[in-house]
Amino acid sequence: MNNMEYLEYEGSRLLDYALGTFTKGSSGDLTNDMERVLLAENPNLSLEKQEQLQDFFWEYVLFRLYITSCRIRNFHDCFGSRTPILTGLDSMLHAIPSHLKMLALEKDLAGSYLIVGRHASSFHYEYVTTQFETFRTIESTYMAMENKEEARLLSIEASLQSMADAMHLSLSPALISFLQKETLAYLAALSERLSRITPEGVHERAYQKTLLHPHRSIFNQETYDHLYPSFTLLASMAAGLLFMFA
C-alpha cells in the first residue's frame, strides 16, 4: 500500500483504539473497568443492569469516535495526512457493524473476545450521524467558557448523561468521574498516536531548512506515492546487476 492507503487504514483502525483504556491502573478492557467501578458500589449487580451497561458502553464508544473525529479535524495537517485518516475513519463509521464483526473475529483468533451485542449491531450510519449531532450540540453549549478544562469536563459529563437518559440508565458519580478521566486520557493518547502518524517534528525541522528561494520540484506531496514504486524498481535492477557481475 502507498502512503495515503496506509493513512486510510490507520483511520479505519481507530475503532479498535477507541475500545481501550488509558488511565493508570486500568485493565485494558473498558467494559471490565466500568463494571469494576459499579461493583465497588454495588456488589450485587443485576443481569439487567449488566446488559444496560453493555449498551451504554457502545454508546460511549460512539462518543469516543465523535471526539476522535473532532481531534483529527483540529490536528495539524502534516503532509496532507489528515484527509486520508478522516477518509478511513468515515468509511468505518459507514459500516460499524461489519467492522465490529471483523474485530470480534480478530480478537477471537488472538485468544481474546469482544461482545458486540444487539445494540452495537444496529449502529447504521444515520444513527451514528444523529448521535454525533447530539454530541456536537452539547459541546457547543460549553464552547464560550473561558476555562477550557472545566468546559471539557462539563461537556463530557453532559454527553454521558444524555446517553444514559436515552436508555433510562442512572449513572453513579463514581462512573461519571471514571469516564471523564478515561476520556481525557484517551484524548491524550490519541494525540500522541496522531503525532506518530503525522510527523509534526519532521515537518517543522524540514520547514526550518527551507531554501530562501523556493523552487518547484518533482519531490512534492502529489508525486510521493508514484515515485516510491519507481525507486523500488530501480533499486531491484541495481541489485540484480551487482549480483550478475559479483
- 57-61, 118-122, 139-143: the lowest-pLDDT one: 118-122
Residue 24 to residue 27: CA distance in whole angstroms? 9
Please give the pLDDT value at position 212: 43
Please give the pLDDT value at position 36: 86
More confident call, 32 vs 234: 32
Q: Is the pLDDT of residue 160 over 60?
A: yes
- DSSP 3-state assignment of 106? helix
More confident call, 112 vs 60: 60
- Global pTM reads 0.75
Q: Where are the domains of the chain?
A: 3-203
pLDDT in tens, 58-79: 899 999 999 999 999 887 766 6
Q: What is the mean pLDDT of residues 71-97?
A: 85
Q: Is the pLDDT of residue 242 over 70?
A: no
Please give the pLDDT value at position 45: 74
Query: Which amino acid is located at 137 in the chain?
Result: T
What is the 8-class DSSP label of residue 219?
-
Is the Cβ–Cβ distance between 194 and 72 less than 8 Å? yes
Residue 210: pLDDT band with limits 50, 70, 90: very low
Q: Which residue, 203, 163, 183, is CA-closest to 75?
A: 203
Q: Is the pLDDT of residue 110 over 60?
A: yes
What is the 8-class DSSP label of residue 157?
H
Q: What is the mean pLDDT of residues 207-228?
A: 42
More confident call, 185 vs 229: 185
Please give the pLDDT value at position 179: 94
* Percent residues over pLDDT 90 in the chain: 31
Greatest mean pLDDT among 35-39, 155-159, 212-216 lies in 155-159
For residue 219, CA distances in Å to 13, 51, 215, 225 come to 29, 55, 11, 10
Please give the pLDDT value at position 173: 92
Q: Is the pLDDT of residue 135 over 90?
A: yes
pLDDT in tens, 26-59: 777 787 888 888 888 877 878 788 888 888 998 9
Is the Cβ–Cβ distance between 10 and 197 less than 8 Å? yes
Q: Is the pLDDT of residue 23 over 70?
A: yes
Residue 206: pLDDT band with limits 50, 70, 90: very low
pLDDT in tens, 185-201: 999 999 888 887 755 54
Q: Is the pLDDT of residue 158 over 80?
A: yes
Q: Is the dihedral of CA 148, 142, 71, 123 positive or negative?
A: positive
